[in-house]
Amino acid sequence: MSKLLLYLKTDAFRKNLIAALVVIVLLFLVIYFGLKAYTKHGVAIEVPQVKGMQIDQAIQALEKADLEYFIDSVYQMDMKPGLVIEQDPEPKSHVKTGRTIYLTIITQVPPEVSFPDIIDKTFIEATAILRNQSLKVGDTVYISDIARDVVLDVKFAGQPLKAGRMVPKGSKVTLILGNGRGASEVELPNLVGLSLDEARFALIGVGLNLGTINYSGAILDSLSAKVISQQPDSTAGFVGLGTAVNLTLSN
């Protein structure tokens, strides 16, 4: 014990003690300032407003601010693909450099849905079903059929579309509908301005007959005479197959 007390009073002990304290202090300062620099303690930047930008512009703004980013995507109809609609943290929030900003953008590729069965549905029913599936009616085509405004067929990109086929959300389809007139009625063509042979050919082509032929005024050349009126008139719309159409011609 006495030797230990004598050693504590020596210059060697005092020098070793001072050296140890200096090492401890230096080690503490290195750790303290090292952690402060590593964590950038007290350094904060303002999060830029990127919501409403296109994703490429948003990325440039975040990289310029020394911020990281993570991108998620959703699909919304009638919104421009690539648009940033959400960001977290919010704009003008203060964060450390290198912080990850979470972005939600509109995806460019819409998800697909199974096309519903709308055959034999009325136009109103079919439209409602399509709307529920995020699909649209692009065009309607009427054909001769006794069922009026009933879906007889569906086409997508010019091709027949069957129930169950996967199609992108927001797609527009063409509905083939019945006109309620049946196959025994045809649309009456407009014959005014045609020659007699041309009018006869047009009538035969749609299943109608040539009725009486009348001439108005002096006819110098019957071959060059043109139809100036017809009965029934073309505004009559649809008539039965085999209907006779009367013509008046003139030079």
Amino acid identity of residue 244, one-letter, is: A
pLDDT of residue 59: 93
**40 pLDDT higher than 60:** no
Q: 112-179 with 185-250: one CATH topology?
A: yes
Structure confidence by residue, pLDDT tens digits, 211-248:
999 998 887 787 889 999 999 988 878 888 889 999 99
**98 pLDDT higher than 70:** yes
Extents of the domains making up the chain: 2-39, 45-106, 112-179, 185-250
Tell me the CATH number of domain 185-250, given options 2.40.340.10, 3.30.70.920, 3.30.10.20, 3.10.300.10. 3.30.10.20
pLDDT of residue 57: 93
pLDDT of residue 114: 94
Amino acid identity of residue 231, one-letter, is: Q
Average pLDDT over every residue of 74-85 = 84
pLDDT of residue 172: 92
pLDDT of residue 239: 84
Q: Which fold has domain 45-106?
A: Trypsin Inhibitor V; Chain A (3.30.10)
Give the chain as a 3 state SS string.
Answer: CHHHHHHHCCHHHHHHHHHHHHHHHHHHHHHHHHHHHHHCCCCCEECCCCCCCEHHHHHHHHHHCCCEEEEEEECCCCCCCCEEEEEECCCCCEECCCCEEEEEEECCCCCEEECCCCCCCEHHHHHHHHHHCCCEEEEEEEECCCCEEEEEEEEECCEECCCCCEEECCCEEEEEEEECCCCCEEECCCCCCCEHHHHHHHHHHCCCEEEEEEECCCCCCHHHCEEEEEECCHHHCEEECCCEEEEEEEC
**Alpha carbon of 213 to those of 82, 188, 194, 229, 247: distances in Å?**
67, 17, 13, 11, 5
pLDDT of residue 3: 64
CA angle 66, 72, 77 (to 5 degrees): 130
What is the pTM assigned to this prediction? 0.46
**69 pLDDT higher than 80:** yes
Q: Which fold has domain 112-179?
A: Trypsin Inhibitor V; Chain A (3.30.10)
Structure confidence by residue, pLDDT tens digits, 124-157:
999 999 999 989 999 998 887 788 899 999 999 8
**160 pLDDT higher than 80:** yes
**44 pLDDT higher than 80:** no
Structure confidence by residue, pLDDT tens digits, 115-126:
999 999 999 999
**42 pLDDT higher than 60:** no
